[in-house]
Amino acid sequence: MEKINGEALFSLKDKIIVVTGGASGIGRTVANYMAAMGAHIAIFDVTADKAEAVAGELVELYGHRAMALACDVTKPEQVEQSLERVAETLGVPDVLVNNAGIGQHKFCLDLTPEEWLRVNDVNYNGIFYMATAFARLLIRHGKQGSIINTGSMSAGIVNVPQQQIAYNSSKAGVIHMTHTLAVELADYGIRVNAVSPGYIFTEMTAKRPQSLRDEWISRTPQKRLGVPDDLAAAYIYLASDSARYTTGSNIVVDGGYTII
Ligand code: NDP
């Protein structure tokens, strides 16, 4: 038996990590944990001010390099340019946390085509634009890496009592896209996995009425909403070299919601 350096197991020391939707909720918290594990972070978000504030906080807390870019994941050109900026400023990234997403509660027959397209544009097309631009950049530079897509338990179940067909469909697409990218990018040493949260208390779910959140809690075996901190270790594992044989997986973190 060899002596193991336990502390190095999940280290992200000097990894360069892009987090989309990193100015809020799950992305912001995951960025904080990843910086704590030694990573340099690029926050991508639609609102520049919010993204800059988070990057500034990371520098202050950990003294690592961090940057912020106003990047809308639905705009392929912006996505390409923003990733180039990261490569020039921090270095070619190692990890993409492909996390930006929006929610929507609406009955299927009331949904307009525009509303359907908007949710799918951010949650589904955005994941594809970011993942493929990231992979092209890495391949061009001969670098290997890891993509972590934020899916959702909604990829595999139909949430009730609210109605959210566009969201559920977009997340189901994200999971199968994760599988497909994992296979197609394996030859390039790029791993692709997903984390699928259950109900997590963030800016997204805080907008919903307390009565609805109480209903979600009553349906969750652990009888509470998750918080973004509950997810951090799953992202850290998938970003770390310890996950070198893990690709195409989907880690569900949902307080037991989907097992009953
Ligand atoms: P938040 O709303 O707190 O954070 C999402 C962030 O993404 C926001 O900063 C938002 O900016 C940003 N964003 C929205 N659209 C775009 C875009 N086009 N380009 C770049 N950034 C964008 O949500 P959560 O942290 O809760 O959600 C993060 C991810 O987790 C999402 O993919 C979501 O679907 C998923 N998820 C969340 C669950 C939950 O219960 N909270 C459960 C399962 C999955 P702005 O606020 O300015 O619009």
Does the annotation mark 15 as catalytic? no
Which candidate in 15, 169, 171, 235 is catalytic?
171
First to last CA, the chain: 41
Task: Please report the pLDDT score of residue 98 as a whole number.
Answer: 98
Q: Which residue(s) pair with 67 in the sheet?
A: 42
In CATH, what number does 11-250 get?
A: 3.40.50.720
> What does DSSP assign to residue 13?
T
Which candidate in 24, 152, 154, 196 is catalytic?
152
Pocket test for ligand 1, best of 120, 150, 205 (most atoms within 8 A of CB): 150
For residue range 165-211, what is the model confidence (pLDDT) as tens digits? 999 999 999 999 999 999 999 999 999 999 999 999 999 999 999 99
Does the annotation mark 152 as catalytic? yes
Pair 25, 50: CB distance under 8 Å: no
For residue range 67-111, what is the model confidence (pLDDT) as tens digits? 999 999 999 999 999 999 999 999 999 999 999 999 999 999 999
Alpha carbon distances (Å) from 111 to 102, 106, 114, 198: 15, 6, 8, 24
Q: How far is the CA of 2 from the centre of ligand 1 (A)?
A: 43
Q: How far is the CA of 99 from the centre of ligand 1 (A)?
A: 7
Residue ID of nearest Cα to ligand 1 atom 19: 72
Does the annotation mark 50 as catalytic? no
For residue range 105-157, what is the model confidence (pLDDT) as tens digits? 999 999 999 999 999 999 999 999 999 999 999 999 999 999 999 999 999 99
